[in-house]
Amino acid sequence: MYESRGEAFRRLVHEALSATDHGAMTEIARRMGLAYNTFYSRINGRVVFSPEEVRALIAAAPDRRFAEYFLEDSPFKLTLREPGDVAETSRDAKVLALLTMAAGVLEAAHALAKDADHSTSDEAAFDQALDRSERALGALRESRTRR
């Protein structure tokens, strides 16, 4: 049986939040970045949730059923993150995580570079990669000082 676009998900959200009082619904809407009336129009089916709104809903009202809905007919399964393993959402936190990872890679590359068994072509490729890395780090440092 055909259901209108987004209707099954809307019913799920409506059912899950039906016992929630107005104040809590207002707070969920605020955490999603929506006005209460905008959020209410999604729950009542006047407007379909956008993908970004679904993502914000799962973060604002973490009900496992919301995420499971999208995996229902797929080979994937939902697992909860460990406490403290929630992804940082700020741009600076993401950049810091990438820089930390890159530092580890550079340390490993340095250890390999000290190895005596490498060819001249390996050295040239290494020097080019190192130059690119230095330029990228310089550009990042410059963009952070312009703020």
Residue-wise pLDDT tens digits, 93-103: 667 767 776 77
Question: In this structure, is residue 37 part of a structural domain?
Answer: yes
The pLDDT score that the predictor gives to residue 5 is: 81
- Report how many domains make up the chain: 2
The C-alpha torsion from 14 through 17 and 23 to 24, rounded to 10°, is: -140
Same domain flag for 97 and 136: yes
Answer whether 0.75 is exceeded by the pTM: no
Question: In this structure, is residue 83 part of a structural domain?
Answer: no
Which of the four pLDDT bands, split at 50, 70 and 90, describes residue 3?
low
Q: Where are the alpha helices (DSSP H) in 33-119?
A: 36-43, 51-60, 64-71, 91-113
Question: In this structure, is residue 97 part of a structural domain?
Answer: yes
Mean pLDDT of the 12-40 span: 90
Same domain flag for 95 and 63: no
Task: Please tell me the distance from the alpha carbon of residue 72 to that of residue 29, in angstroms, as a whole number.
Answer: 26
Mean pLDDT of the 92-113 span: 70
